[in-house]
Structure 1
């Protein structure tokens, strides 16, 4: 029976979730497709352009796709990422391990009201990826409960679908990101205003200096003629 395991590598705002699927007999994949679904918290996003360059799978993303906004400015239902593994290179009738690596990014979190150092970090608990096979030969089976929330998405694989057991379904997957402190926001606003005003006067000075230099060149050119 096939099985999968997942792990996180990397720290901070950029990290990778790797899911390895062990298939004892690749004959089980005949006329079937192999998938992994990631249900992403709103704190986490996947870059579609980055995913398109990854070998080993194709991907479809539903839900929040804006890459620039902080978590406070995006819908709180997150997004769903579906991977379809490329099994064209797999030799029939042999065991194989397929690893699908997904680069993910964390959004800027909401500032917290705390002065302690430990309060300036936010713990994001990721849902574990779900693996499944689509197109199983035989009579139609009931949709697995874990996949029912996604069955209505446009482009979702057609049933019958069968789950791939996770070897460690209860192991936590967690990312820790730094966040701002509410007490610091006033100073950030003041600092931003000072920088903007300074830049305005610098640009004004540069524009006036350039205008005077161009004016002198025009006068010199007129006298020469």
Structure 2
């Protein structure tokens, strides 16, 4: 069985926590497959710091700074768990997530993003189950060719997704923001221009040759 929860669900940096409760499968490896909507991304460098817990494969936009409006596809993440289950058959897996800047909307200050729970499963060398792999990219599925799969289902009656609530801009404020930005840029330009001209004037006085008597 597996269950998930989201910590810091009202921020740009939530933490996806999944608890695995399962018997000890011999000759099996534990994996979690995540579907990530366009507004959600992971930082591969950050995940690399958790190498003692899991290895990973990621498929999605490589530019982490792009806003949601600039993306055309979702992302996927596959974890291969390294840390063993406890003696009680329990393991917590944490994945740090990041939210992209959403598109401004009329009268809206927050955006809700539904994040599905990951699919958790064991991949085994010996025949222990006839379950099929959860839907995933072919490049991920190829890893499990010739292996038997034992899927871990959510508790009965559970709603298998979490909701992230992140702030977005209000289009009613766009005009004021753009005007303010333009004014600040113009002021900065003229300040730098004035400072440059004054510096050039001082330099010309210093380098002016002395008149001969």
TM-score range, shorter chain: 0.7 to 0.9
Q: 1:172 to 1:135 in 2, by over 3 A?
A: closer
Instruction: Return closer, same or farther for 1:185/1:141 CA change in 2, 3 Å cut-off.
Output: same
Any idea what SS the aligned residue of 2:185 has? helix
- Residues 156/82 of structure 1: CA separation in 2 closer, same or farther (3 Å cut): farther
Is 1:72 aligned to 2:61, yes or no?
no
Deviation at 1:162, TM superposition (A): 2.2
Following TM superposition, the consecutive aligned residue runs of length 4 or more in structure 1 with deviations greater than 4 angstroms are none
Alignment-derived partner of residue 60 in structure 1: 57
- Alpha-carbon distance, 1:90 to partner: 5.7
Question: Aligned pair count?
Answer: 205
CA RMSD of aligned residues (A): 2.3
Deviation at 1:9, TM superposition (A): 0.5
Partners of 2:39 and 2:102 within 8 A in 1:
yes
| Structure 1 residue 196 corresponds to structure 2 residue 185 | yes
Residue 178 (str. 1) matches residue 167 (str. 2): yes
SS at match of 1:153: helix
SS at match of 1:131: strand
| 1:6 match | 4
2:37 maps to 1:41: yes
- The question of 1:160 aligning with 2:148 is answered yes
Q: TM-score, normalised by structure 1?
A: 0.81
User: Are 2:131 and 2:150, in contact at CA under 8 Å, matched by a contact in 1?
Assistant: no
Separation in structure 2 between the aligned mates of residue 40 and residue 171 of structure 1, nearest angstrom: 14
> Structure 2 unaligned runs (5+)?
none
The alpha carbon displacement at 1:154 in A equals 5.0
Q: 1:217 to 1:161 in 2, by over 3 A?
A: farther
Matched residues in 1 for 2:115 and 2:85: separation?
Answer: 30
Structure showing the higher helix proportion among its residues: 1
Deviations 1:90-139 (A, max 9, x none): 68xx433221111111111111112xxxx311111111111011134128
**TM (normalized to structure 2)?**
0.85
Equivalent in 83, 94, 98 of residue 101 of structure 1: 94
Distance 2:141 2:56 in 1: 11
Kindly indicate whether the alpha-carbon contact (under 8 Å) linking 1:65 and 1:79 is maintained by their aligned counterparts in 2: no
Give the secondary-structure state (helix, strand or coil) at the position aligned to 2:184: helix
